[in-house]
Structure 1
Amino acid sequence: MGEVGKRDDAVDAVTWGVRVAAAWSWRLLAIGLGLLVLGRIFVRIELVAFSFVLALFFTAVLHPLEKRLRRIPGPPSLSAGLALLIGIAALVGIAWFVTWQISSHSSQLADQMTNVVDKTKHWLHTGPLHIKSSELDKFGQNVTKTIKNHQGAVVSGAIATVRTLAEAVGALLLILLSTFFLLRDGEQIWNWTLRLFPRRSHGRLDLAARAGWGTLGGYMRGQVLIALFHGVSVMIVLFVLRVPLAAALGVLIFLGSFVPLVGLTVTGALCVAVALLEHGFTAALVVAISIIVLVQLEAHLLQPLIMSRSVEVHPLAIALAVLTGTIVSGIVGALLAVPFVAFANTTISSLRADPALPEGDSGFPVEAKKSPLGDPVDLAKPPGEDGPEAEPSAHV
């Protein structure tokens, strides 16, 4: 008995704060272990996982179009197929336009690059650094020698590129197939997924997931409009300044705008560099000021006007999400990070909100009705279940 009493005293001697910290610690360790296991699984199936996530994003963008196309008489596969073909046509058109612009101006680009190299060498020789021409020539020879000595690495890199290209083709086919079935059978797929969870949580999960899906779709479609505004505005400025490849650079601005904070900065710097090479400092300054004005318009006008309040994400969360996504998965991670954060933010907020409405026999939320006194009637309970002893409502 004495030993038992000592153990009880030892347990009682642990303060409440330490107990709470210990409880939080082992739970956080369990959550971290679970996330680690999920991360290892994700790495193993990274190609499939990213392909399906991209398919979800394309589905969120094309879903309103597919709903409109349902008015056309025919099976559901018709509207889903037409929406997918329209989306593919838009992407192929953008890719073709950029390729055509670059190929048609390839000689001009080569001349500009040669001019840049010559000007750089002249500045290094006559500028404040006063680098000798012999040292510059020696540096060029060293670069050429390094490339020749590492031809094997170049060949292996080419082989890796071919392998990556084959994986990209497979991922593209998987994205198209997944997008088609998500457009056609999205409701059935979600209902099947919902049945994997306990029946009592169906109502709350359904409401939270649909809220998150609405946020994801709103974010993606709003981002398309904002990116289109950026691309067209910069292209008009470049056309006025007669900068070569103005249309192609406008498309790059459009694509870069899908990566918040970073994308527009990088592609905008490229536009400034091209304007600087072609027309000098004044044109580059005009382009830079135009891009800064666009960033301010997006922050203070386009985001509040196009994006609803539920879609807004704090700038710090956007910066952290973009940086984390870039570190984890490069450009693809940067593209997917902010939409994922927007979806998770709305879903978690919905889960933390008031409990879902009571469920009926089907497992889906049952709409509450008002009694003549204004009190909600629980349709999930049969009449009289509370019995005659139930206390009257406080409103009466």
Structure 2
Amino acid sequence: MSKNSDENAMDEVTWGVRVAAAWTWRLLVIGLGIYILGRAFLKIELVAFSFVLALFFTAVLHPLEVFFRRVPGSRSVSSLLALLVGIAAFAAIASFVTWQISAHSSELADQLSNFVAKTRDWLHKGPLHLKSSDVDKMAEKLTKTIKDHQGQLISGALQTARTILEALGAILLILLSTFFLLRDGDQIWEWTVRLFPRAAHKRLDLAGRAGWGTLGGYMRGQVLIAVFHGISVMIVLFVLRIPLAAALGVLIFLGSFVPLVGLTVTGTLCVAVALLEHGVTAAIVVAIAIIVLVQLEAHLLQPLIMSRSVEVHPLAIALSVLTGTLLAGIVGALLAVPFVAFLNSTINALRNSPALPVGDSGFPVEHTTEPGGKPVDAADPDDPEP
């Protein structure tokens, strides 16, 4: 009686509910797996982020490595030359920004002092009509807060020193990883593919190469867009005779690697410097230039420079940048959009590649044929490599 009741109860469950239940427990298992991977990732985040950054640098430097293969010598020579060019470019940018800041530091300090004085006068004489005593109390309270938290400031300085050491280790890891990826990238990828079942090798290889091509195209295209933004803003700032124009142009270049958001944030700093130096009119001109550049990026540069396979919808860009920022700060914002572009291309390649037949075990199998016509399962570990 109870058995018949159970069967009747199962019959009462509709097909849609069964499908929903099947999807639910599978999604829960997938979510648990992603959570476990995320926890493991946080334990080694310095190593993981360093390797991911090395992948991005490799995508940018790969055409250089291919060009330097014309130089007599092994792949180590061409890889080292490409890496040295990348290091030289990065060092030149950092040195230039440092030189610009040190050369205009006194002028910038004077402008900042004038801004503080003007702000104090505005608080006293402006719409708020704050008394001088109130402004002085605010300054004293700020000073007292700093003195009361000197211990925390010292511990923060120690933490900063530790961060610097970790950053140096990460830089060394990035350089080593980039060199070996440039030199032995094909061998590393082939080894990675062999970690998966043999029946999945072909589809995985096609999808991975499609994703890598998209990542390389995206990174190189983003470099071109960043150069255009940096030069354009630098010209506007030079015309307005704003100090640190060249350094701010480099800052715009770096910020442009975070699509839409990066240019907006770094552009705001340019507007603030223009406001300090030449007042509201100059600030408005710079703001208009930044807005025009944002529109050019969204409607002209992205469709023109990026291929169809690299394009990511602006909503996906905004969501990925915000998610990356919440998860990993600035580094997450930098990595979010390239990661989404890579996933988009890889998933499309997997979806468009022909699926293999499914065997009795439920896993895809690939069949070949013996000389006599008998099918052979290629997933058999005793078979030779194809």
- TM-score normalised to the size of structure 1? 0.90
Provide the residue aligned with 1:72 in structure 2.
71
Q: Which amino acid in 2 is paired with 1:18?
A: V
| Alpha-carbon distance in 2 for matches of 1:173, 1:347 | 30
Once residues 356 and 192 of structure 1 are traced to their aligned partners in structure 2, the CA distance between those partners, rounded to angstroms, is: 23
Q: In the alignment, is residue 103 of structure 1 matched against residue 119 of structure 2?
A: no
Which residue in the other structure is 1:6 paired with?
5
RMSD in angstroms over aligned alpha carbons?
1.8
Alignment of 1:210-289 (within 5 A): 210-289=209-288
**In structure 2, C-alpha distance between the alignment counterparts of 1:29 and 1:308, rounded to whole Å:** 36
Residue 364 of structure 1: aligned partner: none
Q: How does 1:53-132 map to 2 (within 5 A)?
A: 53-132=52-131
Q: For residue 385 of structure 1, report the CA deviation from its aligned partner.
A: 4.0
| Offset at residue 379 of structure 1 (A) | 12
Offset of residue 297 of structure 1: 1.6
Runs of 4+, deviation exceeding 6 Å: none
The 5-angstrom pairing of residues 176-195 of structure 1 reads 176-195=175-194
Q: Give the match for residue 366 of structure 1.
A: none
Secondary structure of the residue aligned to 2:354 is coil
Q: How many angstroms does 1:354 deviate by?
A: 3.1
Query: 1:310 matched to which residue of 2?
Result: 309
- The Cα of 1:382 is off from its aligned counterpart by 6.2
> Which has the higher mean CA deviation after the structures are superposed, 119-128 or 15-24?
15-24
Q: Which residue identity does 1:260 align to in structure 2? A: P
Q: 1:68 to 1:379 in 2, by over 3 A?
A: farther
Which position in structure 2 is the counterpart of 1:43? Answer: 42
In the alignment, residue 159 of structure 2 is paired with which amino acid? A
Query: CA contact under 8 A between 1:207 and 1:356: conserved in structure 2?
Result: no
Distance 1:4 1:92, change over 3 A: same
Flag the 1:95–1:357 CA change in 2: closer, same or farther, 3 A. farther
Q: 2:290 corresponds to which residue? A: 291
Quick check: 46-55 or 289-298, which moved more? 289-298
Shift of 1:74: 0.3
State the one-letter code of the partner of 1:313: V
Maintained 8 Å contact 1:54/1:175: yes
What pairs with 1:133-152 in structure 2 (closer than 5 Å)?
A: 133-152=132-151
The answer as to whether partners of 1:203 and 1:357 remain within 8 angstroms in 2 is no
Please tell me the residue identity of whatever aligns with 1:48.
V
Give me the whole-angstrom Cα distance separating, in 1, the residues matched to 2:204 and 2:16.
33
**Which stretch of structure 1 is more off in the superposition, 297-306 or 338-347?**
297-306
Corresponding residue number in structure 2 for 1:372: none
For 2:55 and 2:292, locate their aligned partners in 1 and report how far apart those are by CA, in whole Å: 33
CA displacement, residues 177-229 of structure 1 (integer Å, 9 cap, x when unaligned): 00000000000000000100111111100000000000000000000000000
What is the TM-score with the length of structure 2 in the denominator? 0.92
- Residue 327 of structure 1 aligns to a residue whose secondary structure is helix
Q: Secondary structure at the match of 1:323?
A: helix
Question: In the comparison of the two structures, how many residue pairs are matched?
Answer: 367
In structure 1, distance between residues paired with 2:367 and 2:142: 78
CA distance 1:295–1:344, shift in 2 (3 Å): same
Name the CA shift for 1:309/1:102 in 2 (closer, same or farther; >3 Å): same
